[in-house]
């Protein structure tokens, strides 16, 4: 419903504006004394139609809706200035008085561009000064003068102009021409110059977007200022000159020219925003991080001072990425804060050029990408936390398994092994006591031999569960001890390798042991195995053989390989296997030494 009303209002304004253009044309043609009446009529119609048309365009752009409405209203007001082309005394007089009021509207829309409001106290004072000048020095003279100054931007008559229909005195006082007119003309030029200067002063410290928008208006305003000052000076010096008449026409056409400059500025604004949105989409393709967001927004919208801030933990304000408090930009400043909301909760904010405050394309794009980036960051953090939990859980399981190995080894050593030793001694004593009974002594000594074999098997089992050299003398000595018992001749090379946390030594040892056993079982034709250890900040373990090799893509990893990968991954490392037919096999593991020891279960 609101959309239909908006369309209806637009068409109504357009029809009314076209009607006023036609009226301005008819009035000008009827009262023109020029040889180029049609050109004059077209110029008067442009004074009315161009501002209204540009205002309608601006009204349909959300950031400039207020300015568009203002320009439409001012365009309607400029129609009354075109009445100065009439041959009727009253209509002519209304037009000439309206021409004075036009200056107020012109200064106002210039200073209000593009937001549609006067953003500073200085701007309001300037507009107020123009109003005071018109009310005090212009309007009262309509009751005193018998004619208006010519040539004028609002009429082409110079000698046979209609008389002032509002004069209430019999003769114009001399001081009006000698004092009031010079003073008000100088003041008018000075105030318009101050307004132009105000526009120009916005450029140096403005963002690129604001500069692109204001430059056309500043350029046309400077041209009008020069034309205005020259026209006033020459009208007093050589009032009947054709040059003054030409300058007056240029001054009149400056009104649609400024409106057209507004249009150019708005179009440049839209092109800039469209290009910026494209650049932003290209920069934030994929999975942007929060730190990427600020850089991408600042680059896309050419605003190096743009900041992304986050809600403080106590919800009392905003902080930067480092947690430092950030002050909210004060009202009526060059910076503005736009909140980024996830549902109804403000999760972040963007501090940006105030010119973008009302631009929905910027707001929607920036906040959407901000929410996306923050969601990606949150999901990545959750995924990282889950991976960390899995890694820590795997490390705890591995540590628990190693503890259980050591407990079993300890129980075998302190329990079964000691009992078997005691039983072996008792059997030997019993055999000595039974020397008189050879069959019984032989039986007891035979049982002692079986117990000795069982004891060796228990010792071998205990060493395999958790070798004593690993706990007592470290990784290198444990591997050398294992190499002496290996089925293949094995060489252990170690450079700069010392002692490490228990879980790291355990993972490296059992991984190497599994690789050594795999070489003995599966490396057909292998004649030797080399185990090489090095420490360059990371512990590197490499087991290589000179066997037949295999194609890793054609072999399914079994329990042994899976166990090796899990052991190395449990301490934050990575395992790789390189092999090719006829080229042997190389098993490599890299274990970062800064990994924290996994939490161990509390003994029960």
Average pLDDT, the chain: 79
C-alpha–C-alpha distance, residues 507 and 538, integer Å = 14
Q: Is the bond leading into 114 cis (omega within 30 degrees of zero)? A: yes
Q: Between the CA of residue 251 and those of 54, 98, 166, 364, what are the distances in Å? A: 19, 15, 26, 42
**Mean pLDDT in residue range 562-583:** 83
Predicted confidence at residue 156, as pLDDT, reads 76
C-alpha–C-alpha distance, residues 89 and 601, integer Å = 105
For residues 204 and 196, which has the higher predicted lDDT (pLDDT)?
A: 196
597 has a pLDDT exceeding 60: no
Q: Which domains does the chain have, with CATH numbers?
A: 2-274 (1.20.1070), 287-395 (no CATH), 473-604 (3.30.565.10)
Least reliable range by pLDDT among 7-21, 185-199, 337-351? 337-351
For residues 369 and 218, which has the higher predicted lDDT (pLDDT)?
A: 218
Dihedral (Cα; 29, 31, 36, 38), 10-degree rounding: -10
**Mean pLDDT in residue range 530-552:** 86
One DSSP character per residue, 528-558 reads -EEEEEEESSEEEEEEEE-S----GGGS---
Q: What is the pLDDT of residues 245-285, one digit of tens each?
A: 888 888 888 889 999 999 999 998 888 888 877 877 777 76
Exposure b/e, 448-469, CB count within 10 A at least 16 = b: beebeeebeebeeebbebbbeb
Q: Percent of the chain having pLDDT more than 90?
A: 18
CB 526 within 8 A of CB 487: no
Q: What is the pLDDT of residues 148-177, one digit of tens each?
A: 888 788 787 777 788 889 999 888 888 988
Predicted confidence at residue 319, as pLDDT, reads 75
Predicted confidence at residue 603, as pLDDT, reads 36
Predicted confidence at residue 112, as pLDDT, reads 92
Q: What is the pLDDT of residues 227-247, one digit of tens each?
A: 989 988 888 888 777 788 888
For residues 383 and 541, which has the higher predicted lDDT (pLDDT)?
A: 541
Q: Percent of the chain having pLDDT more than 70?
A: 73
Predicted confidence at residue 547, as pLDDT, reads 84
**Mean pLDDT in residue range 366-370:** 67
Least reliable range by pLDDT among 30-39, 123-132, 343-352, 403-412? 403-412
CB 534 within 8 A of CB 540: yes
CB 23 within 8 A of CB 45: no
**Mean pLDDT in residue range 18-46:** 85
What pLDDT band is residue 2 in, cutting at 50, 70 and 90? very low
Predicted confidence at residue 245, as pLDDT, reads 80
One DSSP character per residue, 252-319 reads HHHHHHHHHHHHHHHHHHHHHHHHHHHHHHHHT-SS--HHHHHHHHHHHTT-TT-EEEEE-TTSSSEE
Q: What is the pLDDT of residues 433-478, one digit of tens each?
A: 666 666 766 766 677 676 666 666 665 555 555 566 777 788 888 8
364 has a pLDDT exceeding 70: no
Residue 494 belongs to what H/E stretch? strand 490-495
CB 29 within 8 A of CB 37: yes
For residues 7 and 43, which has the higher predicted lDDT (pLDDT)?
A: 43
For 37, counting Cβ atoms within 10 Å of its Cβ (0-12 exposed, 13-18 middle, 19+ buried), the class is middle
CB 564 within 8 A of CB 514: yes
97 has a pLDDT exceeding 70: yes
Q: What is the pTM of this model?
A: 0.60
């Amino acid at each position: 419903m609101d959309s239909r009303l908006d369309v209806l209002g637009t068409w109504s304004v357009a029809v009314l504006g076209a009607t006023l253009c036609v009226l301005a044309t008819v009035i000008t043609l009827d009262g023109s004394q020029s040889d180029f009446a049609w050109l004059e009529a077209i110029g008067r119609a442009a004074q009315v139609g161009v501002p209204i048309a540009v205002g309608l365009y601006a009204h349909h752009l959300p950031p400039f809706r207020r300015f568009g409405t203002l320009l439409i209203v001012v365009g309607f007001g400029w129609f009354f200035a075109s009445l100065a082309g009439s041959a009727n005394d009253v209509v002519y007089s209304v037009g000439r008085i309206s021409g004075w009021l036009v200056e107020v509207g012109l200064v106002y829309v210039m200073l209000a561009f593009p937001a549609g409001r006067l953003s500073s106290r200085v701007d309001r004072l300037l507009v107020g000064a123009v109003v005071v000048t018109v009310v005090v020095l212009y309007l009262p003279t309509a009751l005193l003068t018998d004619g208006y100054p010519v040539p004028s931007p609002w009429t082409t008559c110079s000698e046979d102009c209609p008389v002032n229909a509002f004069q209430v005195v019999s003769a114009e006082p001399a001081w009006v021409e000698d004092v009031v007119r010079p003073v008000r003309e100088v003041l008018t030029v000075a105030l318009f110059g101050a307004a132009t200067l105000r526009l120009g002063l916005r450029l140096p410290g403005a963002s690129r977007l604001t500069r692109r928008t204001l430059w056309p208006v500043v350029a046309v305003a400077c041209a009008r200022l020069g034309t205005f000052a020259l026209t006033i000076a020459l009208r007093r010096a050589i009032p009947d000159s054709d040059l003054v008449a030409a300058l007056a026409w240029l001054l009149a056409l400056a009104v649609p020219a400024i409106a057209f400059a507004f249009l150019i500025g708005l179009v440049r604004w839209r092109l800039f925003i469209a290009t910026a949105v494209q650049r932003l989409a290209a920069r934030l393709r994929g999975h942007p991080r929060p730190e990427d967001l600020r850089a991408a927004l600042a680059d896309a919208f050419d605003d190096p001072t743009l900041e992304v801030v986050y809600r403080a933990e106590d919800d009392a304000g905003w902080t930067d990425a480092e947690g430092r408090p950030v002050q909210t930009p004060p009202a009526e400043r060059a910076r503005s804060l736009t909140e980024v909301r996830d549902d109804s909760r403000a999760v972040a904010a963007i501090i940006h050029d105030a010119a973008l405050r009302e631009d929905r394309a910027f707001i929607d794009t920036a906040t959407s990408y901000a929410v996306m980036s923050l969601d990606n960051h949150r999901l990545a953090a959750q995924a990282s936390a889950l991976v960390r939990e899995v890694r820590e859980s795997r490390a705890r399981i591995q540590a628990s398994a190693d503890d259980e190995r050591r407990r079993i080894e300890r129980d075998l050593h302190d329990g079964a092994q000691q009992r078997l030793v005691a039983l072996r001694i008792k059997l030997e004593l019993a055999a000595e006591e039974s020397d008189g009974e050879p069959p019984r002594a032989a039986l007891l000594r035979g049982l002692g031999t079986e117990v000795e074999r069982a004891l060796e098997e228990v010792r071998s089992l205990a060493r395999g569960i958790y070798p004593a050299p690993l706990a007592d003398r470290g990784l290198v000595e444990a591997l050398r001890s294992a190499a002496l018992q290996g089925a293949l001749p094995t060489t252990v090379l170690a450079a700069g390798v010392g002692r490490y946390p228990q879980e790291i030594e355990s993972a490296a040892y059992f991984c190497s042991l599994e690789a050594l056993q795999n070489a003995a079982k599966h490396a057909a034709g292998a004649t030797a195995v080399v185990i090489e250890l090095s420490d360059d900040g990371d512990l590197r373990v490499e087991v290589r053989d000179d066997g037949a090799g295999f194609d890793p893509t054609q072999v399914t990893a079994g329990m042994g390989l899976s166990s090796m990968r899990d052991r190395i991954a449990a301490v934050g490392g990575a395992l790789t296997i390189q092999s090719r037919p006829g080229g042997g096999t190389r098993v490599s593991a890299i274990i970062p030494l800064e990994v924290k020891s996994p939490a161990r279960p509390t003994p029960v």
